[in-house]
Amino acid sequence: MTPDKLNRKIEEYIKTIPSLPVSVSKVLEICNNMNASPADLNYVISLDPVLVGRLLHLLNSAYYGLNHHVTSLVRAIIMLGINTVKNFALSSAVLGNLPINKNNKGLNIKGFWQHSLCVGVTAKLLAKKKKADLEIAEEYFTAGLLHDIGKIPLSAVLSSEYSLMVGNAEREKKPLFIEENSSLGINHCEAGAMIANAWKFEGPVADVVTHHHNLAGYSGNNSKIIYNVAIANYFALINETGFAGDRNPEKPAPEIWKAAGIKESEFEEIKETVHHEIEKAKVFLNIHDIST
């Protein structure tokens, strides 16, 4: 299949995916306003009982480990913070709207989401080690959780062919995105960018989805989070937490580690914590009945 034909098939596939709920789009719009307030979010979210339920479920889960049960939406928004609510709404909508075919031959869904959770958790832990506040750290988690969403349309459109390509990358000891480029003329970052464009989400998460394998070519304002997620992705892959089709990941260049302020020795410091945090973070998948 030619790259142009594959692009068209991916575009057609993405058109079959439901649009983000209006409430989530409004949440993203409000949160991008510097003058946004918890009251603004409360009004929009309260119109979507499903989102209210998911938000309160998250806040009262082991992920946050609160000592008391929260039932007030306004209190939940204040406790989580506007940026955290935005990132939860985005990740919740993406997980809820992406068609998940557990029989997909091209992608092991269980392994895929286990890997994605590991990247999100690792990115968040690395950010917190650099003294990032909770709201910023949650953005790192969301970006890590969603970084590989471009693999879903690729594997859905190609299925068996994608599975063979994953095997070929392993046999030839090549990073998966390089095998995608040579075999398909497109990689999962480009497919992810197509989803981000279709759903009109932007900022750090969109940049991570699009550029986590093109670090040298990125010139925007979100390099720190992109570098962090790329390093977290490398950590998840070399530790074989889950499986995202990549047995031979490309190690980020020394200048990337330096710019991110991360040392490889920090991997051992967080390794045990990562697995504990993955268990708590499974609430993001359980809300949508995505088995891990």
Same domain, 201 and 173: yes
Report the number of distinct structural domains present in the chain. 2
> Does 118 lie in the same domain as 220?
yes
The answer on 250 and 139 residing in a single domain is yes
81 shares its domain with 162? no
Residue 216 sits in the same domain as residue 176 = yes
Question: Using one digit for the tens of pLDDT, what is the confidence trace for 108-129?
Answer: 888 999 999 999 999 999 999 9
Q: Are residues 156 and 257 in the same domain?
A: yes
**Which tokens hold the place of 10?**
């991916």
What DSSP string describes 106-135?
Answer: T--HHHHHHHHHHHHHHHHHHHHHTT--HH
Range of the domain at 52: 18-97
Structure-token pair, residue 269: 């410091």
Residues 78 and 166 in one domain: no
Q: End of a domain among 53, 74, 97?
A: 97
Q: Given 97, 118, 143, which residue is the final one in a domain?
A: 97
| Residues 255, 199 share a domain | yes
Q: How far apart are CA 210 and CA 190, in angstroms?
A: 6
51 and 144, same domain (yes or no): no
- List, for residues 33-49, the tens digit of each pLDDT value: 888 889 999 999 999 99
Looking at the fold, whether 225 and 241 belong to one and the same domain comes out as yes
Give the tens place of pLDDT for each residue, 249-292.
999 999 999 999 999 999 999 999 999 999 999 998 887 777 55
Q: Among residues 79, 97, 115, which one ends one of the domains?
A: 97
